[in-house]
């Protein structure tokens, strides 16, 4: 019953793809009316494949004390999840995002005896994500958008809105 009632307020569905120099974002959501303003609420997933990767390593501590410290390295990609909010005043959309990203790090050491790398320690760090932006509808179904983020720099993207 709740889903049937909720579906009466949804005016469009939206999917978007944003790309920037530091990350890629993909989002899907729905739009409606709230307090006499058209709005959209979207769940967003981001991927950041950034440099500073560790060389190949063994996933355990060095078995002896004759090693050199290499430091902290990123272990894999950074992932984020955000809530994306848009207020639509056709042909413009004012955008905002709030979310959280996580990145795994490893503390590498290099054995002086063998030259092999070992993961001496690991940790996961969380980072807040805040973004603002603006979009402009190119037609009734397509929107070009630009966003700036505290974590990911600038995004340029295209959104597809399917109206009910």
- pLDDT for the residue numbered 64: 93
| Annotated domain spans of the chain | 13-163
Of 101, 102, 106, nearest to 52 (Cα)? 106
Q: What residues form DSSP beta bridges with 89?
A: 92
8 A C-beta contact, residue 96 and residue 131? yes
Domain 13-163, classified CATH 2.40.160, yes or no:
yes
* Contact criterion met (CB below 8 Å) for 32 and 9: yes
pLDDT tens-digit series, residues 28-87: 665 544 433 466 667 777 777 765 667 788 988 999 999 999 999 888 888 888 887 777
> What pLDDT shows up at residue 76?
80
Residue found by looking up tokens 């290099």 in the block: 110
> How does pLDDT run across 94-114, given as a tens digit for each residue?
888 888 989 889 999 999 999
In terms of residues, how long is the chain?
164
């Amino acid at each position: 019953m709740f889903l049937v009632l909720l579906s009466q307020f949804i005016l469009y569905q939206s999917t978007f793809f944003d790309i920037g120099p530091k990350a890629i974002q993909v989002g899907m959501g729905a739009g409606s009316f709230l307090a006499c303003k058209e709005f959209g609420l979207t769940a967003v997933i981001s991927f950041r494949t950034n440099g500073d990767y560790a060389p190949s390593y063994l996933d355990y501590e060095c078995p002896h004390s004759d090693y050199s410290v290499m430091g902290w390295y990123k272990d894999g990609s950074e992932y984020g999840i955000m809530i994306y909010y848009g207020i639509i005043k056709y042909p413009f959309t004012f955008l905002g995002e709030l979310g959280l990203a996580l990145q795994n790090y490893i503390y590498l050491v290099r054995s002086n005896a063998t030259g092999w790398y070992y993961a001496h320690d690991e940790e996961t760090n969380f980072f807040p994500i805040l973004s603002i932006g603006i979009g402009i509808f190119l037609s009734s179904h397509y929107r070009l958008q630009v966003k700036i983020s505290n974590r990911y720099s600038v995004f340029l993207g295209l959104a597809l809105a399917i109206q009910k």
